Amino acid sequence: MADNPNPDLDLPEADAPVTKPKKKGVKRRIFLAGSALLVGGGIFGVWWTDSSAKAKGNALIGGEGKSAFGSVMTIAEDDTVTVFSPHIDFGQGSHTALAQMLADELDASWDKVTIEQAPADMAFANAALAKGFLPTMAGDTLAGLLPDAVIGMMARAMPLMITGGSSAIRFTGEIAMRRTGAAVRAALVAEAADRLGVPEGELTTADGVVTHAKSGKSLRYGELAAGAAGRSLSSDPVLKTREQWKLIGKPVERRDIPAKVDGSAVYGIDFTLPDMRVATIAAAPVRGGKLESVDEAPALAVKGVEKVVKLDDAVIVVAKGYWPAKKGLEALSPKFTDGGHAAISTPAIYAAQGKLLDGGKADNEAGEGDVEAAFKAPGGKIVEAEYRVPFLHHAMMEPFALTGHYKDGTLTLWGGLQDPLSTRVKAAKAAGLEVDQVVFNPMIMGGGFGRRFPDVVEIIDQVAILAKQVPYPVKLVWSREQEVTHGSYRCQSSARLKGCVADGKITALRIDYAQADSAEGEVPFIYNLPATSRRHFAYKSNQIDGPWRSVNATQLGFYTESFMDELAAAAGEDPYQFRRKHLPEGSRYVAVLDEVAKRSGWGTPAPAGVGRGIAIVESFGTIVAEVVEATLKEDGTPKVLRAWAVVDCGTTVNPLNAQAQIAGGLIMGLSSAIGEAVTLDKGAVEQSNFTDYPILKLADAPPAVDVHFIESGAKTGGIGEPGVPPSSPALANALAVATGKRVRNLPVLAQAKA
């Protein structure tokens, strides 16, 4: 969609089509269906076939003394099993968990298992993600009709190699890793049976060895690997039962931690090459603005500065090191236009969203029952409220840093981004090259949270252009100020909620919210109500609205769970019991809610001035309920005293890491709710660093977070994001109890200072 130069208008962009799909994601659904048809028609040719892709993948990871299986793993002659993860490591711990899942099914010896990053090649496009997401995006019927080979071709056509959506364990782990491990184990057993001349049923596997108990003979996996690699792997192998697991569900220490502690881990910002140059950048302060003019002389006069590169909307200084590049950039006085966005401000966006909710047309609707009729029914009590949340920055510890080297017609890149294959595609387009002329070397990342997806990352284009103008390897580093003022923010959002309660229960609920349409898929609505309506009104500012940890669940979780407390108060009910009576009896939701109430001592008296708040949100297939205990400090700012989280993700693969992810998500949610906000004035972002974009300090975080997992055995859910959404409404609900004042607008500190 085109940028909206005037957010005071009461409608979104004039060129935006207004439709009413049943669910979000209709464009992707059509795309996937179309892709299936194209693939089925042979448009992509033999290279895209499943067999050729697997052969190429095996060739890339195999080699002397190593046998490759399904572009997923290798077994070496010394019994070393190497698992290749298509997901990037930015601290979420999925590499270790994925290896656990494969090694358990394989019956490998854990001390012989290593994990590596899969190459950024189309042969490693993640078909497991395509298969996992397909039912949501294309519908169960179409998903069930497509064979795995076609889904693999679709993944390569997209191309799909993302790390996000809490998808690594629930999709790649369950669909690719466990099945590959089980299938390879079966192939190893078959190979051993032939060599020993015994029935397969008489063989057992453990710790990388196939054993025939009757004869006392055994063969190591390394001895069998070459023969097993020549066998066809089952597409539907027999998986272990929960009782047979040896690694899944165990608190295994993460393999990536030692290198990060001793400093040997190399991030994109650490990467160096011989004769490398370093560059830094200043983009138009107002997004959408253009570079009018710049005098290069002051920068070129700085010792070490070699070149000034002008882009359409930015200026780059190239030097022999970062500090001369930074000094050279500071010497410049570039002039930029505002792109016609000077009237955009945070208050103006809220005003425009309000007008859109007043008279605009919803582009997405969901719900059941007749809400309007229920509102008019006699005997009900109507409750109405307006909520607002600001733009949020990802606040990665590692600012963007991407190295590029253009030589002999090939552009080679090094850095940390969340989708290696799309990075290649985007860089190729910017550099005017074919995709096969771009090589991307994925690296670990110092944070991401959705900020490093290529479709919202401008540094890819910048480096692709820059590398063709510099006869050396060149690393472009964004300063913290550049990274904060030019983010891809979680969208600013406004909501209006209306509910009706009668006889202690909700009879109708409407949630209208206006924001960018940056989040695919509706957040599950978990309550059983006779009439509900959830309507989205699309609004676009001049900013890039991108995914932020847990995506749309943070906004809708805050709106819904805060309003549930307001409805409980109107009904004269306890917030926990009120939620419980609107959830299916005996459901996973009730089990999670009951457990967090029990662990937090819900219902017991709290100290004077202290409030407890509760919230429950389902996202990414995982149910999380949280309780926050909070008060106000002497200066009137909030202080979180204690926090509890109960989680049902079906199966917890690595409890040690999962606990860290949930606790980290809860604290990130508290941080965003208490003090974080990106605001605009005259079209430009006002914040520039952690000095004015405050992250929750250790002293203000809960001293401990009690995390408990319910092993329900349900379909495996995600773990990296679901801990975030319940914490902000739980905090708001706690503060309402402690102070008697309802928090409807975030961040809390902005209201405390008002």
H or E element at residue 117: strand 113-117
Q: Domain total for the chain?
A: 3
Q: Which candidate, 303, 308, 302, places its Cα nearest to that of 280? A: 308
In a domain, 587, yes or no: yes
**CA–CA separation, 121 and 116 (whole Å):** 14
pLDDT for res 600: 98
Q: What is the pLDDT of residue 594?
A: 98
Domain boundary pick from 436, 454, 477: 477
- 3-state SS assignment for residue 221: helix
Torsional sign, CA 486, 396, 662, 654: positive
User: For residue 730, is it within any domain?
Assistant: yes
Provide the residue range defining the domain that includes 375: 347-391+489-753
Flag the least confident range among 142-146, 305-309, 476-480, 576-580.
142-146
**Percent of the residues in the chain that have a pLDDT greater than 70, as a whole number:** 93
Q: What is the pLDDT of residue 140?
A: 79
User: Looking at the structure, do residues 110 and 239 belong to the same domain, yes or no?
Assistant: yes
Residues 411 and 387 in one domain: no
Q: Is the pLDDT of residue 36 over 70?
A: no
Torsions phi, psi of 317, nearest 5? -115, 130
The whole-number pLDDT of residue 753 equals 59
pLDDT in tens, 312-332: 999 999 999 999 999 999 999
In this prediction, residues 593-603 reach a mean pLDDT of 98
Same domain, yes or no: 409 and 532? no
Q: Which residues contact 287 (CB under 8 A, 6 or more apart)?
A: 339, 341, 486, 542, 543, 544, 683, 684
Packing angle between helix 50-61 and helix 148-157, nearest 10 degrees? Answer: 70
Q: Are residues 191 and 317 in the same domain?
A: no
Phi, psi (degrees; rounded to nearest 5) at 32: -65, -40
Are 182 and 201 in a shared domain? yes
The letter for the amino acid at 388 is R
In a domain, 142, yes or no: no
Residue 166 within any structural domain of the chain = yes
- Report yes or no on 9 lying in a domain: no
Task: Answer with the one of 434, 457, 477 that is the final residue of a domain.
Answer: 477
- The pLDDT confidence band at residue 74, using thresholds 50, 70 and 90, is very high
Distant-in-sequence contacts of 697-700, Cβ < 8 A, 24+ apart: 700/638, 700/639, 700/640, 700/674
pLDDT band at 24 (very low <50, low <70, confident <90, very high): very low
The answer on 682 and 706 residing in a single domain is yes
Residue 471 phi/psi, 5° resolution? -80, 25
Same domain, 596 and 715: yes
Residues in contact with 384: Cβ distance below 8 Å, sequence separation at least 6, in sequence order: 496, 497, 498, 499
pLDDT at 412 over 90: yes
Give the model's pLDDT for residue 522: 66
In-domain check, residue 557: yes
Whether residue 98 is found in the same domain as residue 184: yes
Q: Note whether 468 and 510 are same-domain residues.
A: no
Do the Cβ atoms of 166 and 620 come closer than 8 Å? Answer: yes
pLDDT of residue 89: 92
107's tokens: 């019956």
Residues 436 and 523 in one domain: no
Question: Distances from the Cα of 746 to the Cαs of 387, 407, 643, 670, in angstroms?
Answer: 8, 49, 20, 11
* Residue where a domain terminates, one of 477, 501, 517: 477
State the CATH number of the domain containing residue 655. 3.30.365.10
Helix (H, G, I), strand (E, B) or coil at 222: helix
d(CA 644, CA 5): 44
With H, G, I as helix, E, B as strand and everything else as coil, classify residue 510.
strand
Judge whether 183 lies within some domain: yes
325 & 430 share domain: yes
Residue scoring higher pLDDT (735 or 19): 735
Domain identity same for 550 and 583: yes
Q: What is the mean pLDDT of residues 531-558?
A: 95
> HEC states along 139-190?
CHHHHHHCCHHHHHHHHHHCCCCCCCCCCHHHHHHHHHHHHHHHHHHHHHHH
| Residue 678 counted as domain residue | yes
Computed on alpha carbons and rounded to an integer, the radius of gyration of the chain in Å comes to 27
Residue count (the chain): 754
With bands split at pLDDT 50, 70 and 90, how would you rate the model's confidence at 587?
very high
What residues have CB less than 8 Å from 174, skipping those under 6 apart? 101, 128, 132, 716
Whether the predicted pLDDT of 3 surpasses 60: no
Mean pLDDT of the chain: 92
